[in-house]
Structure 1
Amino acid sequence: MKQQDVSAPKAAVLGLQHLLAMYSGSVLVPILIGTALHFSSEQMTYLVSIDIFMCGLATALQVFANKFFGIGLPVVLGCAVQAVTPLIAIGQKFDIQTMYGAIIAAGLFVFLISGLFAKLRRLFPPLVTGTLITVIGLSLIPVAFQNLGGGNTAAKDYGSMANLAVGAFTVLLILAFNVWGRGFIRSIAILIGMVGGSVLAGLMGMISFQPVIEASWFHVPTPFYFGVPHFEWSSILTMILISLVSMVESTGVFFALGDVVGRKIESQDLKKGYRAEGLAVLLGGIFNTFPYTTFSQNVGLVQLSGIKTRKPVMFSALFLVLLGLLPKIGALATIIPNPVLGGAMLVMFGMVAVQGIRMLQQVDFHNDKNLLVSAISIGLGLGVTVQPDIVQFLPKTLQLLFSSGILLASISAVGLNLLFNAKKPQPELDEQDGLNETDQKEGRP
């Protein structure tokens, strides 16, 4: 499509479209983590609001590029779903302050190694990355089912017909809009499913609007809202490994967008793009939110609209910042019932696993070494996910490392690939297929 400029009103509408396409995938991350760590309604409202605010700030860092950071492409940033399980594990085994300390350290790490990552990303060929993404998706499915039943397995209504009906309706709605929806409507199928499921739950008396009523109209983001961060080595290592995977995925998005807008992506562009992401993660830790990464479904919106300038995404960043300053908007996301979340999660996390399998199609599995790398890593990752108590007698810090299926699969896949394929390196990610290979970050169907 021919690149064209757009008026401010039209760019604003297109910016709103970008916002809606990424909103549900990003807001779901703080909801999942806050629910798992038993945050109060007031804390959840802050968490969602500041997350929305930081999505806008993180996007602005990439879009408003300068000579130090920012890739200057129409990219939108949001929370990465692959960070959910490791962050919950850190928060449960240590505390919230340790979780944010690990995020801050990971952001600083990404910022500092941005210039060297062109070499480091060779550690993550499709064999490794595809295996990790498959484990991420499969390990999150039990979380989806727990929420589908009602969230708390000890509750009297866990698995009730009402919970299952609401969850099933959410899934069917998402499927319907994915199958019969077109363009923009299809891109927000998850959001439509969650809204529709919440409406049904509301009609069944399953929603309380008290958190919205109690939330203030305006607030200012507060650094270290949950306390002074603690720094613990195994937690930091966990988040650094997750950040490396996110950097590999973002590389694919950068190349895909460069192809769409007709711009050749140089190593200097990648370096500034990585720096912006590292800075976004660092600020996320300081303001007590989560790691931020490039969202790929917005690349599809750039293709569909044919508007390849940065102006719509600039408006999107502005809208996100403004919404993040209004806690009542954030509180709306916190009243979504667990069965609705479970239905949306079932679709998204299942697609994450399938996306990993798609990435593994690039791998030559006639080579038994590649087969062993993937098989052992997936087995280890799922094994400790299902039976985390197997490491209960290890020291606390080692428990975190070896009870995380995603982290254990990462260590196994990278280590075994280096061991078996050191003399015959695997091909790197196919840059032309970057968009397809990165959709899993947001769990996009």
Structure 2
Amino acid sequence: MNSEVSTPKAAVLGLQHLLAMYSGSVLVPILIGAALRFNTEQMTYLVSIDIFMCGVATALQIFSNRFFGIGLPVVLGCAVQAVAPLIMIGQKFDIQTMYGAIIAAGLFVFLIGGAFAKLRRFFPPLVTGTLITVIGLSLIPVAFQNIGGGSTTAKNFGSLQNLLIGAFTVLLILAINVWGRGFLRSIAILVGLVGGTVLAGFFGQVSFAPVAEASWFHIPTPFYFGVPHFEWSSIATMILISLVSMVESTGVFFALGDIVERKIGEQDLKKGYRAEGLAVLLGGLFNTFPYTTFSQNVGLVQLSGIKTRKPVIFSAIFLVILGLLPKIGALATIIPAPVLGGAMLVMFGMVAVQGIRMLQQVDFHDDKNLLVAAISIGLGLGVTVQPSIVQFLPKTIQLLFGSGILMASLSAVLLNWLFNSKTPQPEMEEADGLNESSKS
């Protein structure tokens, strides 16, 4: 592989990296903003600042120094596994509590970066695979709600028009994955979103008013949605999600190290974790979301054969520039609910399957492993389907036991420790540690 690259070619490759991760990152603020009923102005800010912070987070990771940054050609974006917990925190408490939890989680990740190697043993494939499976399955009902039209109380919910738009989006994504090649295949979700929006436009479901109303330029504003509140159960929830993201990022770091022929040591991992912690902390301060290493961009590094950081530096620059232009961010807010639902169905289904792939590393001939996964998945999905089962518990306790993802996390970690504390568990395999779907 030739790692030499000219500046123009590096810029094009940087744009490719941006497009490969763009739809996954933009989808997170759209989903959370829609669930928390943000208005058009708030949604435009949310998407724009999210794009901006993706660039900042990527720069923190690729520009290595003695304190943070792994110095590999990695791109950072919003982690989809944080969607459901953040929505629940925002709905149970408020937006300020949600951002307080993100800030606290970022600080936690930064501080434990050096010690995380010792904590990783609590997150073998049995635990992470179970959790990722529950994350995917618990979000699929949200995808169907959006396919139907977004709100179940809407007059046109489940209309033939909405179902056709959602189905077209899914089929377009599938077609590109089946017949597309190379770069086109890597942006299948983005093409599906664009194609579905075009079809929805013919049915009169697209309005460009948010784009027209958005300003051309803005400056990122700390605490845009108010001063953060810190609440213990919300913080505990986000810390657990951050720990899982760190486990997944470890697999990405090792895979990239192999591609660029660089041995990844403990010091590299520590600086990589610290950079992610800083990115999450800044996400909370500027009222965006947790950031984590995107694994789908690893495939682009391998396909292009370019081992230097130069293309990713351009990608970070492009993201920062786009994030300063609200009209670009506003474009993402015009996507109709059925189109989002179609894309979500594919993405969250792939998240669940990726969790199952992780579980393939587990010896299920051992009944103890079988029980850990079965009970944890059962608890996670049970609470997701029947959240009212905890309605009489105090609000903070509701957040802990009313979140299917958190219930699955706690159950898997505790049961695995109880049954397997004296039995060596396999480490996450490098290839299977690349959770492409849950990070896209």
Q: 1:440 aligns with which of 425, 437, 440?
A: 437
Q: Which amino acid aligns with 2:439?
A: E
Which letter maps to 1:44?
A: M
* Matched ranges for 1:285-304 at <5 A: 285-304=284-303
Judge conservation of contact 2:26–2:47 (CA < 8 Å) in 1. Answer: yes
**What is the SS of the residue equivalent to 2:292?**
strand
The answer to whether the Cα contact below 8 Å between 1:295 and 1:441 also exists between their aligned partners in 2 is no
Partner of 1:162: 161
State yes or no: 1:114 paired with 2:113.
yes
- The percent identity for this pair of structures is 85
Kindly tell me the number of residue pairs found equivalent between the two proteins: 440
How far has the Cα of 1:277 moved from its partner?
Answer: 0.1
Deviations along 1:347-393, one digit per CA (max 9) or x if unpaired, are: 00000000000110110001000000000000000000000000001
- The one-letter code sitting in structure 2 at the alignment partner of 1:241 is L
Deviation of the 1:434 alpha carbon: 3.0
Q: Deviations over 1:99-129 (max 9, x none)?
A: 0000000000000000000010111000000
Paired amino acid for 2:248 = E
Q: Which ranges in structure 1 are unaligned for 5 or more consecutive residues?
A: none
In structure 2, distance between residues paired with 1:237 and 1:442: 21
Determine helix, strand or coil for the equivalent of 2:77.
strand
Q: Contact (CA 8 Å) 2:293, 2:439: kept in 1 or not?
A: no
CA distance in 2, matches of 1:37, 1:48: 14
Corresponding residue number in structure 1 for 2:64: 65
C-alpha distance after superposition, 1:277-309 (max 9, x if no partner): 000000000000000000000000001111110
TM-score by length of 2: 0.99
Counterpart position of 1:237: 236
Report the alpha carbon displacement of residue 432 of structure 1 after superposing the two structures with TM: 4.6
Structure 2 matches for 1:93-172, cutoff 5 A? Answer: 93-172=92-171
Contact 1:135 1:378 in 2 (8 A): yes
SS of the equivalent of 1:293 reads strand
Asked whether the equivalents of residues 357 and 432 of structure 2 are also in contact (C-alpha less than 8 Å), the reply is no
Distance apart, 1:273 and its partner CA: 0.2
Q: What is the aligned partner in structure 1 of residue 425 from structure 2?
A: 426
Deviation at 1:328, TM superposition (A): 0.3
Q: Residue 316 of structure 1 corresponds to which residue in structure 2?
A: 315
Q: Aligned letter for 1:186?
A: R
8 Å Cα contact 1:133/1:440 also seen in 2: no
Summarize the alignment of residues 331-346 of structure 1 with structure 2, pairs less than 5 Å apart: 331-346=330-345
Matched residues in 1 for 2:137 and 2:143: separation? 10
Deviation of 1:161 after TM superposition, in Å, equals: 0.7
CA–CA distance in 1 between the matches of 2:358 and 2:216?
44
CA distance in 2, matches of 1:433, 1:170: 28
2:156 aligns to what SS in structure 1? Answer: coil
| Cα shift at 1:7 | 1.1
Does the aligned pair in 1 maintain the 2:358–2:433 contact within 8 Å? Answer: no
**Match of 1:4?**
3
1:372 aligns with 2:371: yes
Instruction: Please report the RMSD computed on the Cα atoms of aligned residues, expressed in angstroms.
Output: 0.7
Q: Which residue identity lines up with residue 177 of structure 1 in the other structure? A: I
Distance 2:361 2:59 in 1: 34
CA contact (8 A) 2:77 2:293 kept: yes
Where does residue 75 of structure 2 map in the other structure?
76
Contact 1:83–1:242 (8 Å) recurs in 2 = yes
- Structure 2 vs 1, CA of residues 229 and 124 (structure 1 numbering), >3 Å: closer, same or farther? same
Q: Contact between 1:219 and 1:327, CA under 8 Å: does it hold in 2?
A: yes
Residues 255 and 434 of structure 1 are in contact (CA less than 8 Å); yes or no, is this contact kept in structure 2?
no
Gaps of at least 5 residues in structure 2 are none
Quick check: 2:127–2:413 contact (8 Å CA) kept in 1?
A: yes
Determine the C-alpha separation between the residues in 2 that align with 1:182 and 1:4. 22
Counterpart of 1:355?
Answer: 354
- The 8 Å contact of residues 132 and 355 in structure 2, kept in 1 or not, is answered as yes
Residue 223 of structure 1 is matched in structure 2 by: 222
Q: State the partner residue of 1:45.
A: 44
Give the TM-score normalised by structure 1.
Answer: 0.98
CA contact (8 A) 1:137 1:352 kept: yes
Q: How does 1:15-34 map to 2 (within 5 A)?
A: 15-34=14-33
Q: Following the alignment from structure 1 to structure 2, what is the Cα–Cα distance between the partners of residues 257 and 430? A: 13
CA distance in 1, matches of 2:221, 2:84: 25
C-alpha distance in 1, partners of 2:115/2:200? 50
Q: Letter of the 1:246 partner, please give it.
A: S
Q: Deviation per CA, 1:261-289: give whole Å up to 9, x if none.
A: 11000000000000000000000000000
Is residue 2:381 matched to residue 1:382? Answer: yes
